Amino acid sequence: MADFSLQALHDEIENDPMELGYKTGSVWKEDAVIVELINSADFAVDRVSVEMEAVRAACGYDAYDGLGADEQEWLRWMTPNSGQFYVTADMKLQLTGRTLAADGAAGVGDDSNSFWALADDAIASVLLALIEIPGSRAEVLWGEGKTVSISEVGHAANL
């Protein structure tokens, strides 16, 4: 994921790689229209991190007991206390059975690819909802929580 810059915003609007309709022909639409298009949540993004407590809370005793010793140890090791559990490809695969979201598309895989026992693989869906969330095109490009302001669009238009 790239750092936000006015040049990057300008290039996104000018090139419109997802064909969101930032322009009519070669003319940019009104700033407010562009802001609405780039900030609407029609994509999938992975959070930067989730709370360790939320991961542990989603895993009941039976599901934890159904894990192998190595998986139990991994879960204890990765969520040792309060704080953030950073989303990585390995973390998401183990807990949800899915790959990381890519370019706004949800991760690929299903619950059965997670490390949960077959009887408990519904936990993977619960964890997926914590990790992979609806996001905007701005969040796809520049990270969770990024919204583009009308002034940023106006400044990018002047580049």
User: What number is the average pLDDT over the span 80-93?
Assistant: 96
Q: In b/e form, how buried is each residue of 123-144, taking b as 16+ CB within 10 angstroms?
A: bbebbbebbbbebbbbbbbbbb
Q: Is the pLDDT at 121 greater than 90, yes or no?
A: no
Q: Which of 104, 107, 124 is nearest to 55 (CA)?
A: 124
User: What number is the average pLDDT over the span 124-153?
Assistant: 96
Mean pLDDT for all residues in the chain: 95
Read off the pLDDT band of 119 (50, 70, 90): confident
Its sign, for the CA torsion 119, 122, 123, 128, is positive
Distances (CA, A) of 114 to 5, 78, 120: 37, 16, 10
Q: Residues 6 or more apart from 52 whose CB is under 8 A from it?
A: 78, 79, 80, 81, 82, 83, 84, 85
Percent of the chain with pLDDT over 90: 92
The pTM is what? 0.89
* Domain-wise residue ranges, the chain: 6-42+146-157, 44-135
57, two tokens: 């809370």
- pLDDT score recorded for residue 12: 97
Q: Which of 24, 72, 75 is nearest to 54 (CA)?
A: 75
User: What number is the average pLDDT over the span 57-81?
Assistant: 93
How far is it, in rounded angstroms, from Cα 34 to Cα 15? 13
